[in-house]
Amino acid sequence: MMIATALPTGEECPTGLAPIRVALAGNPNVGKTTLFNSLTGLHQHVGNWPGKTVERAEGSCRCQDRSLAVVDLPGTYSLTSHTAEEVIARDYILRERPDVVVVVLDAANLERNCYLLAQVLELTDRVVVALNMLDLARSRGYDISPERMAKALGVPVVPLVASRGEGREELLAAVLGVACGSIQTHPSPINYLQAKPTLRELEHLLAGRRLQGYPASWVALKLLEGDAEVSRLVEAEVRPGLAEQIRDLLAQHEHEPAVLADARYAWIAGVLAAAMARPARSVVTLTDRLDHLFTHRYLGLPLLFAIFLGMFAATFRLAAPLTGLIDYGMAALASWTAAHLHWAPAWLSGLISAGLIPGVGGVLAFAPIILLFFVFLGALEESGYSARAAFVVDRLMHALGLHGKAFLPLLLGYGCNVPGIMAARILENRRDRLLCILVNSLIPCPARVAVAAFLVGAFFPVALQPVIMGGLYLLSLLMVLAAGFALRKLALPGEQSPLMMELPLYRLPSLRNLGLLTWWRLVAFLRKAGTVIVAASVLIWALSTFPTGHGPEGTWLAGLGRVLAPVAGLIGLDWRMAVALVTGFVGKEMSLAALGVLYHADGQALATALQHQITPLVALVFVVVQLLYVPCLATVAVIRSETGSWKWTAVAVAYPLLLAGGLGALIYWGGRALGLG
Amino acid sequence: MRWGHRFRRKEVEASAAGTLAGVPEGADAVVRGVAAGSGLVQRLQALGLTPGTPVRVLSNSGARPLIVEVRGSRLALGLGMARRIQVEHDDRHGPTDR
């Protein structure tokens, strides 16, 4: 393989020192994560950046007896401060000062990709370019010479096919060379033309200031660009007189920010002129043909629904046996423990076999569905289809004050609110993300629907059942729209952010990427939600067990039910149903189990018992309330970790509760007024 | 308000003239400017849309976001966004590829 600059001999680097710190930067969808996985293999850890809901992947690898610590920076198009990802990437490069920054470029989309490279070179000159997907670029008719590109850029350029691991060793050698100084980089400077005098003047004004460790030349660039964060920093760090001087200077040159972008693209054009030959005519590619289909004016939407219907069907079809197996295993384990703990006091054996084990089982039962959703979601994301889905549904999402990208998180909510809320990360700004998370609380997951289906089956004639179930879905959809409207007016004002996204080339998802991504997301979920769910299961067990000796009616849980009874009574529910709603908070399907215990019946017998105790109207009230009232505990745990705010978590719990109560009252008293029940 | 719909449509078309939203499918145009705050302008810059950039409109139904080709990459832009991007477009030639 060719390497664009001289290879280091390896002896120049002393061994046994601190690991070389390498950061991977690049646009989204350029194969950065594939490269990261190919470099680090299983020696990696995925968590969050401190205080941010942006994934942070770190790993290590060895090359020529040196160990390298690799950080995968979030994929960004630029290094401004408009998204959390951009701030993380630039702060890491500026503050943590990695030994080498590897900028991964998509060779098939070089011009736009180089914009980020230009901005990275404004921060540091210790850069190695990884030129990925050169094969794809060739198939589109681009002829790119890595050697000439390296010469034009002044930094090493290593061609890669990350998906096949090709070029890995050459890249590591170049990284090592730059880190140890055996390869000297001399990045070709960007000519800022008319903006130059202003930049020089700003630099002069800033010279000698502390600026929190940021270089003055970069701060000057960002000031001229009108970067909000850097402007705040400067206001805080320099004396007021100087700040005023800087403001005046910027006001005189307010047309220059555009010059900077032009200067970068002019620099890019220069580099590409030396390194790349474009095809005379554009080649019709697979992406063109697939896009013609998937973004088709009439076929786009039906195809989208077919794809997602298939995804849901496959998820539940594949998850059902796994969930069944886990349930069966946990039940067997519980009865085995109960049988073998006869020597222990009743409370201890109960705690383990009726509290702890079902709690752990409850968490594990989530795993197959969430795992499969993550796999499908990752595949849609990697293949490039999810951007097309966002395009196709963009207009429908305007009804909610969101754009097309919010579709996926909301749709996933119909499978399980947990991955739905976690998927809201793809939205760029906080308002959209919060709105998407908050309305997700109202989307009925299959567990809520299962409870509804049981009661509807017990109380209404067969012919009416599909109508009622359909009506319930429609009702929840209306509530989502109404909540979206109300939240926008009351809590989350702000303009709808416009849709602006890349439609990446289609490609086959890599199984290795999918596997690793899914694994880390699942671990994150189990760690966050797991402990909460187990603790709550034990609590519910204790409430429903003690004090012993008075039957289910004598427990604390029943006592709680009686306390809630006057409130529940306002919408026609008795204390048992109040208890069922409380237990349903832990896991929606548990409300049926609670009703079973309280009515001393199970399955069909429970249906009969309920028919004798409550009217269809009350049953309908219960169904509607439990469909909407609160997100389950796992969902609340995820809302807390994704919003990072107890206030918004409280809102996400409180407003559906009020909404459900209000609707319940409306149905109950409306029904009574109409002479039903 | 029987004519409301038709009226609104006309209004939209008027506001689309001279902007990317008014460029028919298959036609080429050159970006002249962006009427938006510096945040949006910078995001567009990073995606390759700067004054002087040639763009080709791959899809524009007037009701959905546009798909445009810019500097070799493909972007979806909401209609609201497309109406803020001023372009120069020679509509005498009309759509080229359809």
Minimum CA–CA partner of B60 in chain A = A297
More confident residue, A267 or A330: A267
Place of tokens 């200031």: A209
The answer for A 290-309 residues in CB contact with B (under 8 A) is 291, 295, 297
Is ipTM strictly over 0.90? no
Q: Do A500 and B52 touch (CB under 8 A)?
A: no
Residue to mutate among A81, A112, A119, with most B CBs inside 10 A, is A112
Which positions in chain B touch A403 (Cβ < 8 Å)? Answer: 78
pLDDT digits (tens, 9 = 90+) for A229-255: 888 888 888 888 888 889 889 888 877
Q: CB within 8 A of B3, min separation 6: which ones?
A: none
The token duo for B94 is: 């009309």
pLDDT bucket at A6, cuts 50 / 70 / 90: very low
Mean pLDDT over residues A93-97, rounded? 89
pLDDT bucket at A652, cuts 50 / 70 / 90: very high
Any chain A CB within 8 A of the CB of B96? no
Closest approach of chain A CAs to the CA of B72, in angstroms?
Answer: 6
| CATH number of this structure's domain B4-88, picked from the four choices 2.30.30.90, 3.40.1190.20, 3.40.50.1370, 2.40.37.10 | 2.30.30.90
Number of H helices, E strands in chain A: 29, 10
Domain boundary assignment for chain A? 20-180, 193-277
pLDDT bucket at B65, cuts 50 / 70 / 90: very high
Any chain A CB within 8 A of the CB of B67? yes
pLDDT digits (tens, 9 = 90+) for A115-161: 999 999 999 999 999 999 988 888 888 999 999 999 999 999 999 98
Minimum CA–CA partner of B61 in chain A = A297
Minimum CA–CA partner of A389 in chain B = B76
Residue A567: other Cβ atoms inside 10 A: 11
Q: Do A500 and B42 touch (CB under 8 A)?
A: no
Q: Residue A533: which of A369, A360, A354 has the closest Cα?
A: A360
Minimum CA–CA partner of A78 in chain B = B46
Q: Do B76 and A387 touch (CB under 8 A)?
A: yes
Cα distance between residue A194 and residue A329, in whole Å: 72
The verdict on whether omega for the bond into residue A547 sits within 30 degrees of 0, i.e. cis, is yes
Q: Do A498 and B80 touch (CB under 8 A)?
A: yes
Q: Do B77 and A502 touch (CB under 8 A)?
A: no
The answer for A 213-252 residues in CB contact with B (under 8 A) is 225-226
Q: What is the mean pLDDT of chain A?
A: 88
Any chain A CB within 8 A of the CB of B37? no
Closest approach of chain A CAs to the CA of B68, in angstroms?
Answer: 10
Closest approach of chain A CAs to the CA of B3, in angstroms?
Answer: 23
Q: Do B50 and A225 touch (CB under 8 A)?
A: no
How many interchain CB pairs under 8 A, A with B?
108
Residue A356 confidence (pLDDT) above 90: no
Cα distance between residue A451 and residue A473, in whole Å: 13
pLDDT at position A262 is 92
Cα distance between residue A37 and residue A33, in whole Å: 6
Mean pLDDT over residues A365-386, rounded? 87
Q: Do B63 and A265 touch (CB under 8 A)?
A: no
**Segment holding A24, helix H or strand E:** strand A20-26
Which positions in chain A touch B51 (Cβ < 8 Å)? Answer: 258, 262
pLDDT digits (tens, 9 = 90+) for A252-301: 887 777 889 999 999 999 999 999 998 777 777 888 899 999 999 899 99
Give CA separation, A313 vs A119, A306, A318, A372, A373, in Å.
45, 10, 8, 11, 11
Select the residue of A112, A262, A297 nearest B72 (Cβ to Cβ): A112
Cα distance between residue B55 and residue B20, in whole Å: 9
Highest mean pLDDT among A330-334, A359-363, B27-31: B27-31
β strands within B1-98, DSSP E: 28-34, 54-59, 66-70, 73-77, 85-88
Closest approach of chain B CAs to the CA of A225, in angstroms?
Answer: 8
Select the residue of A82, A109, A499 nearest B78 (Cβ to Cβ): A499
Which positions in chain A touch B76 (Cβ < 8 Å)? Answer: 387, 390-391, 394, 404, 499-503
Which positions in chain B touch A297 (Cβ < 8 Å)? Answer: 61, 64
pTM of the entire predicted model: 0.84
Please tell us whether the domain made up of A20-180 is placed in CATH 3.40.50.2300. no
pLDDT bucket at A677, cuts 50 / 70 / 90: low
Q: What percent of chain A stands above pLDDT 90?
A: 44
pLDDT bucket at B15, cuts 50 / 70 / 90: low
Any chain A CB within 8 A of the CB of B43? yes
Q: Do B63 and A395 touch (CB under 8 A)?
A: yes
pLDDT digits (tens, 9 = 90+) for A151-200: 999 999 999 988 788 899 999 999 999 998 999 999 999 999 888 989 99
pLDDT at position A3 is 46
Cα distance between residue A131 and residue A159, in whole Å: 5
Residue A408 confidence (pLDDT) above 70: yes
pLDDT at position A15 is 54
pLDDT digits (tens, 9 = 90+) for A42-89: 888 888 887 777 888 999 998 888 899 999 999 999 998 888 899 999
pLDDT at position A573 is 92
Closest approach of chain B CAs to the CA of A577, in angstroms?
Answer: 47
Any chain B CB within 8 A of the CB of A394? yes
pLDDT at position A16 is 56
Lowest-confidence segment of A176-190, A303-317, A364-378 by average pLDDT: A364-378
Three-class DSSP labels, A517-544: HHHHHHHHHHHHHHHHHHHHHHHHHHHH
pLDDT at position A256 is 79
Cα distance between residue A168 and residue B92, in whole Å: 52
Q: Do A258 and B72 touch (CB under 8 A)?
A: no
Q: CB within 8 A of B39, min separation 6: which ones?
A: A80, A82
CATH domain A193-277 topology: Helix Hairpins (1.10.287)
Closest approach of chain A CAs to the CA of B8, in angstroms?
Answer: 17
**Segment holding A649, helix H or strand E:** helix A646-673
Expressed in percent and rounded to 5, the helix, strand and coil fractions of chain B are 30, 30, 40
Any chain B CB within 8 A of the CB of A499? yes
Instruction: Sort strands A44-48 and A55-63 into parallel, antiparallel or unpaired.
Output: antiparallel
